[in-house]
Each structure stands twice: as structure tokens, then as C-alpha cells.
Amino acid sequence: MERKIIHVDMDAFFAAVEQRDNPEYAGKPVIIGGDPTKRGVVSTASYEARKYGVRSAMPLREAYKRCPEGIFIPGNMEKYKEISWELQRIFYDFTPIVEPLSIDEAFLDVTGSQRLFGTPEEIGRRIKECIKEELRLTASIGIAGNKFLAKLGSDLEKPDGFVIIKSEDVEELLAPLPVSRIWGVGVKTEAYLNRIGIKTIGQLRAIPLEYLEKIFGSMGQELYNLARGIDNRPVQAFSEAKSIGREVTFEEDIGDIEKLYVSLLDLSQQVGRRLRKSEKAAYTVTVKVRYQGFETHTRSKTSQVQIDLGNQIYEVVRQLLDEMGLRGRRVRLVGVYVSNFISASAPRQISLLDNRDSRRRQLEDTMDKIKDKFGEDAISTANLLGRKYTRE
């Protein structure tokens, strides 16, 4: 049986949520990212803001120049995650084969769902209706026989689009589209193809496989196939996140190592709390540092014992940071991540520091209970009070 795949992509998700929850924002340019007078980038822009040329990943200051009347909002990731879970619940009502690509888009393989829910078109329309009725949001949907074409379809008629790509229409549909529409063709590949006179998918289709492989190596075969609408990748059912982490960008580049330590302690405690809430422990800790000019370095260490406390994470982070040797360089961003998970209920490796960690665990468990009841800012360790230097 031919695969039937649906790609669901929410329309300007973060901005749309804020417009939904704040009726006074309806029809106005909403820009998620934070204070436009400070350093940062646009996370999401409403379609009203996009008319001014505002796009995701654009510096906030540039967005303000283009759209000074825009409504700039820092955003609320916890709220967006909760809505994303509701969105996925809708998906799972129609198929167990769901592959999330991000917080606001996913592939659904509905090949085996047709006997229960009807044709792929009927399933797609029911999903759109559920999203609109239950979440009061809109999504664009693409339906096709493979992932590439389904994702392409969801992007063709945004916002609130609904596109079905039939096998007999693929050649005609793809031919006039720019090569940038092909999955995996980034800015550099597009520029190279344009330089040699290949601007459309139809022109790419005319290039022999041997020539594409000579230029692009193994990617040549992929370009050859996608230009013909061929994509044999299956939808991969959801798998657990491979890492948990937090990172922050400083309002001004920091060269003071003590300020970096304070920020890393704050991040470590946030990551530890997320670990415990997910009922996991980790073995591997990674620190990420971005300097001026966006030069980025990471370093990791794997422990012999399970880690799920903020102070445990911070001790490893301090060691990794000291090993990196900042050499007086100014830092733009720092991040803390943990990975290599194990269930928190698994038997623990005995540590020489077990008594100390037991006291820490009692402290952090107590702080967790207070935060669960009164909010994340209800309590903090004394060495963080009034000394946070980070902006998320």
C-alpha cells in the first residue's frame, strides 16, 4: 500500500498563541523574542509583522527598525510546550506513527488509519478542525505519498493552508519551484546551483545523476531523487529527547569569570530541576560557550555515578569551564546540557560523596516542592539572590 503522510505545521505558532490569549493583539504585528533595545533574535513573527519583512532569527534591533509599531513579547515557552502536548494528543487520536520535527510541526503516517477515519484528505480536515476547535489556532497541512512532498505541501499555501499532492501532479508542481524548496538545500548549495545556471527544480531534474554525484558526492543521489519527488524515508515514531539543557545570551559580552560562574550555577540548577521532573538522572554533562564573533565551543564529561542535582551538574560544569581556559576572552552565551539518561528509580552507584549528596538531595527536594506550589521564583539559593546575570 502506498504511504499516506500528513505534515502539520502550525501558523506562526508562538505569535498566534499570544494573539489568541490577548485579543487586543489580533490583527497587529506581534514579534516574539524580547526587548528590541537589547541583543537577541526574533523567535516568531506574526503574519502581520512578516509584511514588514520581519523573519525568524532576525536580530531584534533590525526587526524594530522594520516594524517600530510591532508588539515585542519575550514569549512563554512553558505555555507553548503545554499547547504542543495538546497538539500531539490530537495527532495520536488519528495515528500512533507521529514524528515531531519541532514544538509546532510533525509528520503523521496515516496509511493504516484509513479504515477507521477515512481518506487522508478526510483525516487532514478533521485534524484541522480539532486544532481550530480545541486550541483556537490554525495549522497548514500537506498530504502526499512521502515526507518531502507532504512538508512542501504544508508550506505552499500558508497560513491556514491545505494542499494535497497527488503522484500524477508531482512533475508539473515541482518544475517551476526554486531549488531552495528541496529539503537539505541550504544557502550555500542554492548559491552554487544558481551560479551554474540551475535555479529551478525542473532545471535540476535535467542534470544527470553522475554529474550531481561528482559535484555533491553522496548528496547528489538525494538531490536527484528529491527533484523527482522521490523520498523513501519512513515516518519515525516519537522518541525521547536525547538531552536536557538550558542556555542564555548575555545582554553584554561578559569577561568576568565570577559572573559566568553565577550564571552557570543558575543554569545547572534549572537543568537539575528539569531532570528530576522528568524522573531521569544523567551520566554526561556538557558545557557550551559562545564568544564574541559567534565562535562556539563545547566540552563534555561522563561521570561514573548518576547525576540529577543542580550542584552535581555545576561541579562538572566548573571543571569543564576551567579546562577550556577562557584566556580573558569575552563571552556572549553559555549553556548547560545533560544526556546519557537513566531512570531516576534505577539503583544508584555508591559515591564517596554520598553523605554530602544526601544532604543536597534533601535541600533540592524541598526547593522543588516549594517551586511546585508557589512558582519557579518562590525560592533560590542565597548565592543567586540578586546576582543573576542572564537573559533567556
So which residues are the catalytic ones? 105
Determine how many CB atoms are found less than 10 A away from the CB of residue 74: 13
* Chain position carrying cell 545523476: 209
Crossing angle, helix 77-92 and helix 120-130, to 10 degrees?
Answer: 150
Q: Confirm if 90 and 8 have CB atoms less than 8 A apart.
A: no
Up-side HSE of residue 289: CA atoms within 13 Å toward CB? 25
How many angstroms separate the CA atoms of 377 and 375, rounded? 6
Report the run of H or E that residue 317 belongs to, with start and end: helix 310-324
Q: Confirm if 230 and 221 have CB atoms less than 8 A apart.
A: no
How many angstroms separate the CA atoms of 29 and 115, rounded? 43
DSSP bridge partners of 298: 288
Q: Confirm if 64 and 72 have CB atoms less than 8 A apart.
A: yes
Q: Three-class SS of residue 44?
A: strand
Q: Where are any strands of DSSP class E within the chain?
A: 5-10, 30-32, 44-45, 71-73, 98-102, 105-109, 139-144, 162-164, 243-254, 280-291, 296-307, 331-343
How many angstroms separate the CA atoms of 41 and 55, rounded? 9
